Amino acid sequence: MSSILATRSEFDTCLQRFLKESNACPTEIFKWQIETSPSIIKLKFLKREINTIVSQADEESYGDELMTSIDMHNMDDEDAASLFNNQVESNPVSIHLEQHIVYSASYQVPVLYFKAVFGSNGAPLSLNDIHQYIVPKSRNPLHTTTPVVVSQNEHPVLGTPFWYIHPCDTSTLMRTLTFQPEDYIKTWLSVYGPLVKCPISMDMFKDRADAKGKKSFANQLKKK
């Protein structure tokens, strides 16, 4: 499979497939919706909004757990649930997140953009807040010691400031994973999403795994 989505058409196709699967998944609580740019050239991206409650104490331990997300689509339900279990022990803080999946024509990969505001007063999170409540102690999903690069830049479709995970390592990471080409978006999101509180339900990988198991069993029967 390719480590990139070479054209915007490929991205749009994968986006539509992911949207259909996500909306059909009963355990995918926060639903995505497709958005189209207001410009003459109609560019598509996905958007969803979630509310989460966090505390500084939670996040100090959460960062290390996030690094197992590269293997999440091979986890059982109990392991996947523990990965996203966010126990609020002290000083709970409500945060509203707006998350976008956008295509990068330069890197030919999807990019996760997000906005974050405090639920109590609607004030936007600063860079320090982002690292305190969203991505503290996160490392590179390639398991190196290089921190995940979260920056603020102009949204490539909307033209307004958004936080995003820089896509410079995305194709390298995707090259290390095994997946069907049409599953590019959900495989990518299973790795990068948890780094900025954008989880994906592991039930979205069950049908593929079950079908693979049934096919393997059928092939074994044919050989007998």
Active site amino acids: 168
Question: Count of residues for the chain?
Answer: 224
- Both tokens of 197, joined, read 């509180």
Cβ(194)–Cβ(201) below 8 Å = no
**How far is it, in rounded angstroms, from Cα 37 to Cα 99?**
16
- Burial class of residue 211 in the structure, from the number of CB atoms within 10 Å of its CB (0-12 exposed, 13-18 middle, 19+ buried): exposed
Question: Which has the closest alpha carbon to 73: 206, 182, 198, 174?
Answer: 206
**How far is it, in rounded angstroms, from Cα 7 to Cα 9?**
5
